[in-house]
């Protein structure tokens, strides 16, 4: 009789452990997905800022038509890449960053533009959007780390394997081009 | 990664529970000694506790913002501040964007309020906005967002309420003792148990005196712990401890005190609004750790920006004292690098200078007071008060007549 209770008790504890661990895993996976969505929001914000930027800059830069077109094209490409997977999307975003940095480099030659209030406001928005992209990436990677720890570590790895949880993929900034690209001084 | 705070949260809940027990004990004993009914005293204590807690829970943030005369701003009012708050919201993984408030006060301070992440607000003084650059402001906002993320605000307001209730009860208790002739008379008429009654009264008196002090010490202990944790989280979010360190340095150097702060709201601010210069290092009766110590800890985070690195730095400074985070709670957190002084993704490197920031903030304050700005051709900015009736105004510099836009 006592043995039965002990076995039942152990089973109950086991069930409780599986339940708590499973819920924790689901929470982490949702957090990771949500963090990924945040990155998308910020990338979209960057896309939305670019027509504004081109519009503001156009009047001052009569001679830079090609640079401006390159930015617009890169932005359209980046927009088309949405939903085509991490690789394609990050490649298109890198192209956009490159075009953007070439544009901002020639701003140096237009002192009038640098005094334009609209442009100054856009500068703050661009700086902040770049920050937000990197902060959302940071949060995403932290979330993936949390999830992966849980999936790989003992004893939660048993539950994760049973219920088919997969390791999350880190969002790495591998290409040095993207690291360097937006680093342009307005002054 | 985000679970380290949990163990500290449990510890804090235990401390709050201790304060609640202390309150009930005071009520019980005072009831026994002066109302002839310990249950009655307990009931009074419970009612006070419930009412104050409900007020703190549902109205705490509004009261706090109203007391400090904070005004809500929109994204367009101060884009940089709003952006930084949003950046920190993203870095911390908060779901809702906190409301952003500004306090027209030359002192430098900031606080977060709201019972949970869904009702959170961040407030900064105009003095802070003027003095800090982007990195420093980011550090301060990161600290405040950490208070929201760690649920410190609710904990601290509940704690503050408990403290207030204990002080209140003890105050009434001591008044009853002073005018206690009648209570004693009533009791003596009942007869018997004289010496036991006397002991209880003495215990009640001692408790009435000691309870507020004990409660205050618990309150301060919780509060200072939360400050260290928020500092650590801020470093983690920004990946740049130097930003907050340098901001704290500027804050410490400022001599102006926040006008609209009082003892009850003090723990909510990023630095103690009532600090004195050269205050002793380890002071039990302080809601905040000494600034110099907070700066030293942040600056000795050589290894990285993770909570474990903060813990390491804290222990180096405190010579092996009790760590902020328990070792178990930090397991598997991974390493976190500190970013370079200039953010690698930064677009415009040109920071607004101190003068520009001051102008920006003062323009904002004029706007918030519904003054209208008219730009005269000579470069003068005319500030038109809201009760100005005429449709045009003469520029005091050049004498041109300018139209006031809203009154054609």
- Of B293, B316, B337, the position where a domain reaches its end is B337
Do B296 and B386 lie in one domain? The reply is: no
**Helix runs in B38-78, H state only:** 38-67
Answer whether residue B146 is part of any domain: yes
Of B1, B87, B350, the CB nearest to A185: B350
Measured between alpha carbons, how far is B285 from B261 in angstroms, rounded to an integer? 17
Q: Give the CA count within 13 Å in the CB-facing half-sphere of A18.
A: 11
Report whether the peptide linkage leading into residue B44 is cis, meaning its omega lies within 30 degrees of zero: no
Q: Please give the radius of gyration of chain B, using alpha carbons only, rounded to the nearest integer.
A: 26
Per the structure, the complete domain to which residue B244 belongs is given by 1-275+282-337
DSSP state of B119: G
Q: Do B376 and B244 belong together in one domain?
A: no
Q: Give B362-407 pLDDT, tens digit per residue.
A: 888 887 777 877 888 787 778 888 788 777 888 888 878 877 766 4
> Among residues B296, B317, B337, which one ends one of the domains?
B337
Task: State whether B254 and B315 are in the same domain.
Answer: yes
Q: Is the same domain home to B55 and B109?
A: yes
Task: Note whether residue B343 is domain-resident.
Answer: no
Q: What is the pLDDT of residue A177?
A: 42
Distance, CA of B248 to CA of A180 (rounded, Å)? 31
B26 plus B90 within the same structural domain: yes
Domain ranges in chain A are 2-180
User: Which two three-digit tokens encode residue B94?
Assistant: 């908060």
Residue B95 and residue B54 share a domain = yes
Residues of chain A in contact with residue B349, where contact means CB-CB under 8 angstroms, are 185-187
Does residue B346 belong to any structural domain of this protein? Answer: no
In 3-state terms, what secondary structure has residue B276? coil
**Are B287 and B390 found together in one domain?**
no
Residues of B assigned a catalytic role: 144
The answer as to whether B186 is a domain residue is yes
Assigned token pair, A122: 């856009």
CA distance B77 to B87: 17
Residues B377 and B260 in one domain: no
Residues of chain B with pLDDT under 70: 1-9, 11-12, 177-197, 255-268, 270-287, 319-336, 340-351, 405-408
B229 touches A at CB < 8 Å: no
Q: Which H or E run contains B229? A: helix B194-238
In this prediction, residue A161 carries a pLDDT of 82
Helix (H), strand (E) at residue B247: helix B241-253
Q: What is the pLDDT of residue B320?
A: 59
Both tokens assigned to B298: 């942040």
Question: Is the CB of residue B345 less than 8 Å away from at least one CB of chain A?
Answer: yes
Residues in chain A whose beta carbon is closer than 8 A to a beta carbon of chain B? Answer: 31, 34-35, 38, 42, 104, 121, 123-128, 130-136, 138-139, 142-143, 145-146, 149, 153, 179, 182-187
8 Å CB contact of A127 and B87: no
Shared domain for B50 and B130, answered yes or no, is yes
Last residue of one domain, picked from the residues B317, B337, B357: B337
DSSP B179: T
Please tell me the distance from the alpha carbon of residue A163 to that of residue A156, in angstroms, as a whole number.
11
Q: Is residue B408 part of a domain?
A: no
Residue B351 resides in a domain: no
pLDDT string in tens for chain A (187-residue length)? 888 999 999 999 999 988 988 998 999 899 888 888 888 888 888 888 888 888 888 888 777 788 888 888 989 888 888 777 767 777 788 888 788 878 877 877 788 887 787 888 887 888 888 888 888 888 888 888 888 888 888 888 888 888 888 887 777 654 444 444 444 444 4
* Domain-embedded: residue B342: no
Domain total of chain B: 2
CB atoms within 10 A of CB B240: 23
List residues bridging with B111 in a β-sheet: B123, B269
Q: How many CA atoms lie within 13 A of A105 on its CB side?
A: 12
Residues B327 and B197 reside in one and the same domain: yes
Q: Which residues contact B328 (CB under 8 A, 6 or more apart)?
A: B7
What would the CATH number be for the domain defined by A2-180? 1.20.1440.20
- The DSSP line for A23-83 is HHHHHHHHHHHHHHHHHHHHHHHHHHHHHHHHHHHHTT-TT-HHHHHHHHHHHHHHHHTTT
How far is B374 from B403, CA to CA, in rounded Å? 8
ipTM of the shown complex? 0.77
pLDDT at B344: 39
Which of A142, A155, A180 to probe by mutation at the B interface, max B CB count within 10 Å? A142
On whether both B325 and B379 belong to a single domain, the answer is: no
State whether B348 and A139 contact (CB < 8 Å).
Answer: no
């Amino acid at each position: 009789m006592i043995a039965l209770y002990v076995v039942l008790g152990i089973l109950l504890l086991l069930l409780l452990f599986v339940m708590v661990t499973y819920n924790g895993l689901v929470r982490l996976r949702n957090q990771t997905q949500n963090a990924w969505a945040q990155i998308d929001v910020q990338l979209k914000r960057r896309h939305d800022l670019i027509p504004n930027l081109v519009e503001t800059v156009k009047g001052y830069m009569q001679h830079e038509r090609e640079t401006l077109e390159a930015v617009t094209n890169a932005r359209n490409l980046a927009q088309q890449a949405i939903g085509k997977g991490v690789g394609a999307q990050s490649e298109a975003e890198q192209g956009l960053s490159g075009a953007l940095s070439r544009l901002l480099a020639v701003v140096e030659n237009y002192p009038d533009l640098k005094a334009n209030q609209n442009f100054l406001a856009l500068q703050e928005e661009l700086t902040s959007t770049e920050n937000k992209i990197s902060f959302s990436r940071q949060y995403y990677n932290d979330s993936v780390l949390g999830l992966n720890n849980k999936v790989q570590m003992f004893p939660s790895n048993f539950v994760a394997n049973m219920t088919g949880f997969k390791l999350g993929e880190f969002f790495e900034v591998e290409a040095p081009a993207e690291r360097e690209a937006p680093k342009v001084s307005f002054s | 990664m985000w679970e380290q705070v949990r163990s500290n949260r449990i510890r804090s809940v235990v401390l709050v529970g201790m304060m609640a027990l202390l309150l009930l004990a005071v009520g019980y004993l005072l009831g026994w000694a002066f109302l002839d009914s310990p249950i009655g005293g307990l009931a009074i204590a419970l009612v006070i506790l419930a009412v104050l807690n409900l007020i703190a829970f549902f109205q705490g943030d509004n009261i706090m913002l109203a007391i400090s005369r904070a005004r809500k701003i929109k994204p367009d009012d101060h884009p940089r501040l709003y952006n930084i708050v949003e950046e920190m919201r993203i870095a911390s993984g908060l779901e809702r964007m906190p409301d952003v408030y500004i306090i027209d006060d030359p002192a430098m301070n900031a606080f977060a309020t709201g019972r949970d992440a869904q009702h959170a607000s961040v407030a900064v003084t105009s003095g802070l906005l003027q003095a800090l650059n982007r990195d420093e402001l980011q550090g301060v906002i990161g600290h405040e967002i950490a208070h929201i993320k760690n649920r410190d605000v609710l904990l601290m307001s509940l704690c503050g309420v408990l403290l207030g209730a204990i002080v209140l009860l003890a105050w009434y208790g001591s008044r009853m003792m002073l005018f206690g002739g009648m209570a004693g008379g009533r009791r003596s008429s009942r007869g018997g148990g004289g010496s036991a009654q006397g002991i209880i009264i003495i215990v009640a008196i001692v408790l009435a005196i000691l309870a507020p002090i004990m409660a205050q010490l618990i309150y301060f202990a919780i509060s200072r712990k939360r400050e260290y944790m928020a500092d650590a989280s801020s470093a983690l979010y920004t990946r740049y401890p130097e930003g907050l360190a340098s901001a704290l340095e500027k804050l410490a150097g400022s001599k102006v005190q926040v006008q609209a702060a009082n003892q009850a709201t003090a723990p909510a601010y990023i630095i103690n609004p009532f600090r004195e210069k050269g205050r002793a290092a380890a002071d039990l009766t302080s809601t905040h750790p000494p600034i110099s110590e907070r700066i030293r800890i942040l600056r000795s985070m050589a290894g990285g920006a993770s909570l474990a690195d903060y813990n390491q730095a804290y222990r180096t400074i405190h010579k092996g004292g009790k760590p902020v985070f328990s070792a178990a709670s930090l397991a598997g957190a991974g390493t976190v690098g500190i970013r370079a002084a200039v953010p690698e993704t930064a677009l415009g490197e040109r920071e607004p200078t101190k003068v520009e920031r001051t102008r920006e903030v003062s323009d904002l304050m004029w706007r918030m007071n519904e003054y209208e700005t008219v730009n005269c051709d000579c470069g003068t900015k005319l500030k038109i008060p809201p009760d100005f009736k005429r449709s045009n105004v003469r520029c005091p510099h050049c004498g041109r007549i300018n139209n006031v836009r809203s009154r054609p």
